[in-house]
Amino acid sequence: MAIVELRHVGKRYPGSTSLAVEDFNLVTQDGEFVVLVGPSGCGKSTTMRMIAGLEDHTHGDILIDGVNVNGVEPKDRDIAMVFQSYALYPHMSVRENMGFSLKLKKFGKTDILERVEKVARILGIEKLLERKPRELSGGQRQRVALGRAIVRQPQVFLMDEPLSNLDAKLRVDMRAEIIKLHRTLGVTTFYVTHDQTEAMTMGQRVAVMRDGLVQQIDTPNNLYQRPANRFVAGFIGTPSMNFLEATLDGDRVVGENFSLVLDETGCAAARDHAQICVGIRPEHLHLSRRDDHSCRLTGTVEVIEPLGAFTLMQVRVGKTVMTAQIEPGRRVAMGDAVAVACSADKLYLFDTKDNLLLKGIDLQEDSDLPW
Ligand SMILES: Nc1ncnc2c1ncn2[C@@H]1O[C@H](COP(=O)(O)OP(=O)(O)OP(=O)(O)O)[C@@H](O)[C@H]1O
Ligand SMILES: [Mg+2]
C-alpha cells in the first residue's frame, strides 16, 4: 500500500503544440481506489503511464510514499499495471503466465507456487491453472491478467480500461469482483475508464478529465450533487443532464415554453445573473398536471423508450429536446402535448459565461434506517 502524490504533473509529447496532461494535482489516501474518467484523448492513459514511469512527465513531481520517483525506472517503482489488451503469453499455461514476473525476479520455485495458488484461489481460477489462454473465456483471461498483477504484491495497481474487451454482463460481474478484490487486498489503485457508470460505482474518488485538464476530483455523490461545471454535470449521470438557457425574472427562471420557480437557495445563487443555464436531471422530471403552473415545462413528446423499470421520454420544449425518466405504464404517446415539472430544490444552475456551478442539489441521506 502507498500514498501516491501528483504535484503539478504535466506532459507534452515531442512535436506536439498542446499538453496531453496539464497541471494534475492529487494526493491519494493509503489504499484508496481512484478512478480517472473522461472522453477519448483527454489524457487518462498518459497520466497512468507517467505514474508507472513508462512515459516521462515534462512538468511537476510524482511521489510514492513521500519519495520523489521522477526518473526512477518502472521496474523499481513497485507498481503493477493491467491494460485493456492484457496480452497473456499464448504458449504459457495460466500458472506460468501468473508466475512469470516472479520468475524474472528470481523468486524460488516454492514461493512462486504458493503465491500463484493463493491468488488463483482469490480469483476463483484455481482449476484453470494448467490451461493455455486460448482455452479460457474472455472473463477468465481477464482474471488471469489481474492475477498476474496481484502475485507481484505491488504497492500500487494501475488498471487502464481492463474491462473494455468484455461484454456488458461480464463487465458488471468483473466490476464487482475488482471492488471486492480491492477491499480484500487494500492496495492503492488507479483505474481508468471512459464509462461514467463504472467510474461512479467503483471509485472512492473520481477524477473527471477533459482535454488534459482535471475538471473535478471528488466522491461520486459530490460529483452528482455538486458538479464543478457544466461539463462534469453533463458527463456524470445517465441519461445526461438536460440544459436550458433561461433569463432571470424575479424568483423565476423563464425561457421558451417554461417557467421555473426558484427556491431561496436558487434565488441567492442566481442573483446578479440576468442570463442563466438551468440543469435538470431526467430522473428529477415528472409528468405534471396541466393546471399546475409552479415549476414546469410544456412540450411535445418525440420519443418514448419503455425500459421496464422506468420509461424514458424525450420532450421537445421550444428548441431544446429534454429527456425525462418517468414511471412505467404512464399513458403517453409520441406527438402528445405534455407538461413536465421539476421541484425547485432539484434545479442545478450554471453561469452562462464560464459554465461554473452556481447551485447544486442536496440528496437526503437515510439516517434512520432500522439496521
Ligand atoms: N505517443 C504519443 N505521441 C504523441 N501524442 C500522443 C501520444 N500518446 C497520446 N498522445 C496524445 O495525447 C492525448 C492524450 O492521450 P491519452 O492516450 O492519454 O488519452 P486517453 O484519455 O487515454 O484516451 P482513450 O480513452 O482514447 O484511451 C491525445 O491527444 C493523444 O493524441
Ligand atoms: Mg487510454
Q: What is the CATH number of the domain that holds 11?
A: 3.40.50.300
Check: CB of residue 244 under 8 Å from CB of residue 328: no
User: Is residue 215 located within the same domain as residue 282?
Assistant: no
Residue 254 and residue 211 in one domain: no
Of 340, 363, 364, the closest CA to residue 244 belongs to: 340
| Per-residue pLDDT tens listing for the chain (371 residues) | 799 999 999 999 999 999 999 999 999 999 999 999 999 999 999 999 999 999 999 999 999 999 999 989 998 999 999 887 778 999 999 999 999 999 998 999 999 999 999 999 888 899 999 999 999 988 889 889 989 998 988 999 999 998 887 788 888 888 888 898 899 889 999 999 989 999 999 999 999 999 999 999 999 999 999 999 999 999 999 999 999 999 999 999 999 999 999 999 999 999 999 999 999 999 999 998 766 666 789 999 999 999 999 999 999 999 999 999 999 888 899 999 999 999 999 999 999 999 999 999 998 765 565 55
Given 202, 231, 260, which residue is the final one in a domain?
231
Q: Whose CA is nearest to atom 19 of ligand 1?
A: 41
Range of the domain at 39: 4-231
Angle at 341 between CA 335 and CA 344, to 5 degrees: 160
* 17 close to ligand 1 (CB < 6 Angstrom): no
Q: Is residue 183 within 8 Å of residue 216, measured between CB atoms?
A: no
- Pair (133, 177) in one structural domain: yes
- β-bridge pairing 79-82 and 311-317: unpaired
Helix 109-123 with 168-185: angle, nearest 10 deg: 120
Q: What's phi and psi for 289, nearest 5 deg?
A: -70, 145
Residue where a domain terminates, one of 204, 231, 258: 231
- Give a yes or no: residue 106 inside a domain: yes
Same-domain status, 39 and 98: yes
Of all atoms in ligand 1, which is nearest to the CA of residue 194? 25
Ligand 1 centroid – CA 20 distance (Å) = 7
**Same structural domain for residues 13 and 139?**
yes
Q: How far is CA 263 from CA 249, 259, 260, 284, 341, in A?
A: 13, 13, 10, 16, 14
273 and 351 belong to one structural domain:
yes
Q: Is residue 370 part of a domain?
A: no
Tell me: do 245 and 353 sit in the same domain. yes
Write down the pTM of the prediction.
0.92
Protein residue with least CA distance to atom 11, ligand 1? 20
User: For residue 70, is it within any domain?
Assistant: yes
Residues 21 and 78 reside in one and the same domain: yes
| Any ligand 1 atom below 6 A from CB of 10 | no
Concatenated DSSP letters of 104-155: HTT--HHHHHHHHHHHHHHHT-GGGTTS-GGGS-HHHHHHHHHHHHHTT--S
Q: How many distinct structural domains can be found in the chain?
A: 2
Question: In the structure grid, which three cell numbers stand for residue 103, read together?
Answer: 520468475
**56 CB near ligand 1 (under 6 Å):** no
Q: Same structural domain for residues 120 and 152?
A: yes
Domain contains 35:
yes
Q: Which residues contact 35 (CB under 8 A, 6 or more apart)?
A: 190, 191, 192, 193, 198, 199, 202, 203, 205, 206, 207
Residue 49, ligand 1, Cβ within 6 A: no
Q: Whose CA is nearest to atom 8 of ligand 1?
A: 46
CA distance 18 to 12: 7
